[in-house]
Amino acid sequence: MPNRFTTDELANLLLLLRSSQPENVELAFSLLAEGPQPPQLLAALFYVYQFAPTASIAEAAERLLRANPRLAASGVMDFYWQQISRSLLLSSQEKTLAQQLHLCEAEADLPAKLLAEWLYEDHKLGAYYLLDGGRKADADLSFCQKGDLIDLSQAGLEEFPLAVLAHKNLRHLRLNDNFLRRLPPEIAELEQLEVLELSGNQLRKLPKALLSLKQLKRLELGRNNLKQFPSFLAELPQLEALELTGSCQVNLQRGLALPEEFCRAPKLRQLGLANYKRPSQSLKAYTPFHNYPHFSELQLPVGQRLPLEQPLAMAALAFEQNKEGLAFLLRYSEDSEQKRRLLAHFYQEEAKTMDLSGQYLEHLPAEIADFDIEILDLSQCRLGLVGSYYKQKDELSKGAKQVDRERLHILGQLKNMRALSLKNCSLTALPASLFDLPNLEDLDLSYNLLEEFPENWAGLPNLQRLSFYQSFSVYSPSLELPSSFLQLKQLRELRFYLHRAAKEGVKEQIKAHFGPELQYLLD
């Protein structure tokens, strides 16, 4: 067949070449004669070369491309787009891809726009090129529009895509996971917009122009860098869903009060407010609102409204839906029966075990003593004041050590307890009551911030396993173990992390007072 094709023949060849079925691509090759190819076919061959389903097809495509002198002389054959299409950082690769598309047009006369459209259709790549980074106001958005939705997520955009503003009747705009730093005031022109998705950008401030979106029902702003809480969004009359998870960065120690005006949102039934879904995982993870519970997302059926004005009710709802809000309820609720019901979720009666690990607590309520607990896991609960989010003025005036002792004092009433983990709780001090548990056999105090070695161990006669691994914020080079500690006759396992100068001295004390049956680790 000569290389002169009708419009329909050319369209069919392009479809065959872009097929994922090797037999279809090979059929297209059989229909191509040697010699010059139309620009569209050259682009299709280059596309096949980049994403060939088999090595033999890639070789055949490369042979046909090398027959073109300008292509053969250019460097575009060295591009490896398949690697970009598989990248986990698609949005950050868009700029690189746009540069390569420009070179394809400048050096090899390949129709870059056609290549970009194919890339977007098959791999959701190429939007940055097609929109010129968002600056092209007259760009054709048909490649990313389906009905009432324009989807430009992961497009690498650093600027709001101006071409969107021409779609005055748009109802759904998706711009997640880009690099947007600001929204233009012209966004107010999209008066029919009902859903706006902006999660995963770099927004620091929101314009009041958003209040012109009177039909807006859902707004997603998670994972941004807002410096102020956008309480004015409560004025949106139709807003039902708002996602702010990970979007408000504020000073951890100072905290932030959730504005009262925000709680007046008339129709809000879905809300994401936390900075991280698992705040216990890191000291950097926090909810910035010292007067409001932590939760990742709450949702009520259509027609219902969240009880925003009632923080305890919001916390109860968070626990019911996602097992969140526990710290707020245990600390501020005055309903003893409610607190018992909450604790019962973590209690196994047959094993007499309560597992609160990773739940994030700031307070151990008196109701915990109503349970017959032999094994209690409080690891990663951030019980210490240093790791607290809901810091109160009176607590700050007392100081971390006194507050930590008060928070843990209730543990002294659990006389049947055999095992206790306070690992990674940001504790600076321990209460005396903790060392009056005659049945305690296993105590884990690892990864805390203790400033001194506890003095009185006489109330732990049955202690067998003890971990002080990385438990101290200060390491004395001349640590002296108290005599009551050296009298723990049942101790069989001991873990320490010590200052280098203290290791030998502690070793000698341990060897002198404990027999060879004690297994110890001194790092």
| DSSP H/E element including 420 | strand 419-421
Distance CA 512, CA 508 (A): 6
Q: Binning pLDDT at 50, 70 and 90, where does residue 151 land?
A: very high
Phi, psi at 500, each rounded to 5°: -55, -40
- Six-digit token pair at 95? 């700029």
**3-state DSSP assignment of residue 437:** coil
Rounded mean pLDDT of 107-117? Answer: 91
Distance CA 172, CA 195 (A): 5
Rounded mean pLDDT of 171-199? Answer: 96
Beta bridge partners of 173: 150, 196
Q: How far is CA 431 from the centre of its chain?
A: 35
pLDDT at 285: 37
Beta bridge partners of 353: 348, 375
Rounded mean pLDDT of 335-347? Answer: 96
Of the listed ranges 87-96, 181-190, 284-293, 435-444, the least confidently predicted one is: 284-293
pTM listed for this prediction: 0.78
**Side-chain-facing half-sphere of 425: CA atoms under 13 Å:** 32
Cα angle value 151/153/154 (rounded, 5°) = 145
Q: Binning pLDDT at 50, 70 and 90, where does residue 92 land?
A: low
Cβ–Cβ < 8 Å for 389, 381: no
DSSP string, 325-391: -HHHHHHH---HHHHHHHHHTTEETTTTEEE-TTS--S---GGGGGS--SEEE-TT---SGGG-SS-
Give whole-number Cα distances, 16 to 24, 45, 270, in Å.
5, 11, 47
Q: What is the CATH number of domain 139-327?
A: 3.80.10.10
Rounded mean pLDDT of 407-428? Answer: 95
Please state whether beta strands 149-151 and 419-421 pair in parallel, antiparallel, or not at all (unpaired).
Answer: unpaired
pLDDT at 307: 93
Q: Is pLDDT of 280 > 50?
A: no
Distance CA 34, CA 45 (A): 13
Q: Binning pLDDT at 50, 70 and 90, where does residue 341 land?
A: very high
Rounded mean pLDDT of 139-149? Answer: 94
**3-state DSSP assignment of residue 347:** strand
Quick: pLDDT tens for 365-406. 999 999 999 999 999 887 888 777 666 777 778 888 999 999
pLDDT > 90: percent of the chain: 47
**Beta-carbon neighbour count of residue 392 at 10 Å?**
15
Positions of E strands within 123-228 = 145-146, 149-151, 172-174, 195-197, 218-220
The per-residue pLDDT of the chain, averaged, comes to 85
pLDDT at 1: 40
pLDDT at 96: 86
Q: What is the CATH number of domain 344-522?
A: 3.80.10.10
Distance CA 389, CA 395 (A): 12
* Cβ-defined contacts of 502-507 (< 8 Å, 24+): 502/475, 502/476, 502/477, 502/478, 505/478, 505/479, 505/480, 506/479, 506/481
Alpha-helical (H) ranges within 126-192 are 127-131
- Six-digit token pair at 190? 């999209």
pLDDT at 381: 86
Q: Is pLDDT of 420 > 90?
A: yes
Alpha-helical (H) ranges within 109-179 are 112-123, 127-131
Quick: pLDDT tens for 115-130. 999 999 988 889 999 9
Picking from 66, 50, 4, 54, the residue whose alpha carbon sits closest to that of residue 25 is: 54
Q: Is pLDDT of 287 > 70?
A: no
Quick: pLDDT tens for 209-266. 999 999 999 999 998 988 888 889 999 999 999 998 878 765 444 445 677 888 889 9
Distance CA 35, CA 27 (A): 18
- Six-digit token pair at 496? 């320490």
Cβ-in-10-Å burial (0-12, 13-18, 19+) of 20 comes to: exposed
Rounded mean pLDDT of 350-362? Answer: 90
Picking from 458, 401, 457, the residue whose alpha carbon sits closest to that of residue 430 is: 401
pLDDT at 149: 97
Length reported for the chain: 523
Q: Where in the chain is the domain with CATH 3.80.10.10?
A: 139-327, 344-522
Q: Binning pLDDT at 50, 70 and 90, where does residue 275 land?
A: low
Distance CA 148, CA 164 (A): 12
